[in-house]
Amino acid sequence: MSLYDLPVETASGDITSLGAYDDKLLLVVNVASRCGLTPQYGDLQQLQEKYRDQGLQVVGFPCNQFNGQEPGTNDEIQAFCVATYGVDFPVFGKIEVNGENRHPVYQELTQTTDSQGEAGDVAWNFEKYLVAPGGTVVARVRPQESPAADEFVALVEANLPVRVS
């Protein structure tokens, strides 16, 4: 079963998959509303807006495993994301990214190594995974690196499926 076939729950409780994005450069991020890194939502939204037409799709997975920094309900999380950061990318239902109840999407993603060659557990909120069209994970970027950082933007641009001349 590929990453695109795994069931994910929408914020409204419906079951879907990431299959609609199999031709996109997927930026998968575990997110939280009460974290020092929460302003990255704004940077993620800017990336979504800038590169949407070139095939980028950001998706967020709220997680409350890091110091309880995502305590809200799915409805509260959605309202926060839209009102505070104007988020229009999908923010799915809350999941666990580490441990015994790790969501299957993250069972796959956490096998990927970061720039230091380390795989395994998600370190904190806003860890980022870039998944190329077809499902190959091309990068794992730790939480502290901003989605607005030149290096990260260059990584996104290098992997976009549609080139604009």
Instruction: Kindly list the structural domains of the chain, giving each domain's residue range(s) and its CATH number in brackets, ordered by start.
Output: 3-142 (3.40.30.10)
Identify the active-site residue in 18, 26, 32, 35: 35
**pLDDT score at 165:** 57
- Separation between Cα atoms, residue 128 and residue 18, nearest integer Å: 16
Question: What is the identity of the amino acid at 48?
Answer: Q
Residue 8 near residue 74 (C-beta atoms within 8 A): no
- Separation between Cα atoms, residue 53 and residue 62, nearest integer Å: 25
**pLDDT score at 164:** 66
**pLDDT score at 163:** 77
For the chain, how many residues are written?
165
Residue 37 near residue 126 (C-beta atoms within 8 A): yes
**35 catalytic residue (yes or no):** yes
What is the mean pLDDT, run by run of 10 residues, along the chain of 165 residues? 93 96 97 98 98 97 98 97 98 98 98 94 98 95 97 96 76
- Separation between Cα atoms, residue 165 and residue 162, nearest integer Å: 10
CA R_g for the chain? 15
